[in-house]
Amino acid sequence: MGLLDGKVAFITGAGRGQGRSHAVRLAEEGASIIATDGCTDIDAVPYPLSDKEDLAETAELVRQAGGAVMTAKADVRRFAELKAAVAAGVKEFGHIDIVLANAGIAIMGVDTTEEQNEAGWDAVIDVNLKGVWNTVRACAPPMIERGQGGAMVLTSSTAGLKGLSSPGAFGNESYGAAKHGVVGLMRQFAVEFSTWGIRVNTVHPTVVDTMMVNNAAMEKWVATFPESTALTNLLPVVMLQPRDISEAILFLVSDQAKWITGVTLPVDAGFTVK
């Protein structure tokens, strides 16, 4: 018996990284997975994003974990694509119980132009904030109609709880603004959806070992601002692994957390209290 037997989870950004880890971990506990990803690069993002092959690999890993899975190419910036993915998922599995609004990007600029800064702002806000809003409003209607409650976890960041940028660094405000905005969305949705027994929480990772931080642009930023505290934790670990975040999310979406809603859960090795 798994913690999520009979449940269906809709996950964005499932092509790799944290999203892939969440899909596999929830499948290990019995959930069926609707794995979605934009599967396309974004001009303002200085590292490659997931592609169709990555998403297919996630699906295979879910199957190896014993889970049923379907995939859909859906850009969180495009509500119509998410709505179509939700409809396909409901047709395949009958319902949705769990929503993980996980898709996100980071742009740490060094020596960027005003035009690049503005393009980066627009991209980050569109994916990290509007994308979460789009995901929730695409998934909520079938959950409400079914009347069996459910759980949503919106991925924020330690940047959603405190300022992270280094002194003297500009152009990275979009990430903090978006991740703080996700907390606002969570609190609003937690109130709105309580009538239907749908719980909504946020998870706040510190640095996680994914492509978002393991790329040349991030390396340049760290080298330019070595005094930054944005990448240091209180506990003796440099980066968490994606599964560390998955374990926290598993708790939040399981019945073990059935009375927990409207909370911000740091998984941050003590970063936010140092």
Estimate the crossing angle of helix 131-146 against helix 79-93, to 10 degrees.
30
Please check whether residue 144 is in contact with residue 131, taking contact to mean a CB–CB distance below 8 angstroms: no
Q: What is the DSSP string of 228-265?
A: --TT--SSS-S-B-HHHHHHHHHHHHSGGGTT--S-EE
175 catalytic per annotation? yes
Block residue for tokens 């930023």? 221
Q: Which of 10, 93, 121, 175 is catalytic?
A: 175
Residue that is written with structure tokens 């509500």 in the block: 79
What is d(CA 30, CA 57) in angstroms, rounded to the nearest whole number? 19
Which residues does the annotation mark as catalytic? 175
